[in-house]
Amino acid sequence: MAGVGKPLQGQNVLVTGASRGIGAAVVRQLAREGAVPIIQYGRDQAAAEQLLEEVGAGVTLQADLSDPMGATRLWEQARSKAGRIHALVNNAGIRTEVSIEAGLQAWQSTWQKEFRVNLFAPADLCREAILHFSEHGGGKIVNLASRAGQRGYAAEAMAYGATKAALNNLTKSIARNFGDKGIFAVAIAPGWVFTDMAKGYIARFGKQAAVADIPIGEMALPEEIAEVIAFVLRSSQHSLNGATLDMNGGSYIR
């Protein structure tokens, strides 16, 4: 039987933004550790299906998380495919730049979309997960926050930093309020991670601009983040509830 004897055996895990980057690495790691991934993608169906073929078990689901009903529909589809869901990894995210000189329309539309994808969709999924976990004996939520939400962020991407600070706070509120129902929430706060999101920044400003204030001189790899998320989802881990796990090479130490 698939996953027997592995740490995440028997867990169905919904991973958003899993067609590439951190989300795809999370899916690979979870599958290696015995979980069955529910692989959400936005636009890249081919990448999601190729990933499913690679890991051998699970399902792919399309959802546009910039649509106000996208997250709720995704949860319903995931429930109808998997039945019981044991964990949610809110990983999908966007990082959009808009300067304060850009004009009000561009400013407002960037802030609205950033909050829709990075906070409101994860919040809707958290709500669904809490309701489901309350009825079925518990479950875990992992939210991909960011160092940007902890220390403040670049002038041209302040909306991104604000969404991540709010997501971090939501994670803490879930941990404080629903632990007695067996519901556990953790935020992961990486600095730069070497994915398309970082590559876009490097293409414009150069790698040195990204790593200059990282003491280890390197971005994290998606696989490092994935290993930690898989560890958090082990059934042996309870007391991490409410933690924000910093993964930033020493560039923000609390």
Which H/E stretch holds residue 60?
strand 59-62
Q: Where does this chain touch ligand NAP (CB under 6 A) — which range of 77-85, 93-101, 176-184, 238-246?
A: 93-101
Residue closer to ligand NAP, measured from CB, 3 or 13: 13
Residue closer to ligand NAP, measured from CB, 3 or 41: 41
Q: Using CA atoms, how far apart are residues 85 and 75, in angstroms rounded to an integer?
A: 10
Contact call for residue 41 and ligand NAP (CB under 6 A): yes
Question: Is residue 133 within 8 Å of residue 103, measured between CB atoms?
Answer: no
Binding mask 4-23 for ligand NAP (x = CB under 6 A): -------------xxxxxxx
Identified binder of ligand NAP from the candidate list 34, 93, 161, 249, rule CB under 6 A: 93
Q: Using CA atoms, how far apart are residues 151 and 250, in angstroms rounded to an integer?
A: 13
Give me the count of residues in the chain. 254
Question: Is residue 247 within 8 Å of residue 220, measured between CB atoms?
Answer: yes
Q: Which of residues 50-89 bind ligand NAP (CB under 6 A)?
A: 63-66
Q: Using CA atoms, how far apart are residues 74 and 252, in angstroms rounded to an integer?
A: 34
Residue closer to ligand NAP, measured from CB, 3 or 160: 160
Question: Is residue 120 within 8 Å of residue 159, measured between CB atoms?
Answer: no
Q: Which of residues 173-232 bind ligand NAP (CB under 6 A)?
A: 190, 192-193, 195-198
In angstroms, what is the minimal distance from the CB of 219 to ligand NAP? 7
Q: Using CA atoms, how far apart are residues 27 and 25, in angstroms rounded to an integer?
A: 5
Residue closer to ligand NAP, measured from CB, 138 or 245: 245
Contact call for residue 142 and ligand NAP (CB under 6 A): no
Using DSSP's 3-state secondary structure scheme, residue 176 falls into: helix
Residue closer to ligand NAP, measured from CB, 85 or 94: 94
Q: Using CA atoms, how far apart are residues 55 and 154, in angstroms rounded to an integer?
A: 37
Q: Using CA atoms, how far apart are residues 69 and 124, in angstroms rounded to an integer?
A: 9
Q: Which of residues 102-121 bind ligand NAP (CB under 6 A)?
A: 117
In angstroms, what is the minimal distance from the CB of 123 to ligand NAP? 13
Please report, as ranges, the residues that interact with ligand NAP according to CB under 6 A: 17-23, 41-44, 63-66, 91-95, 117, 144, 146, 190, 192-193, 195-198
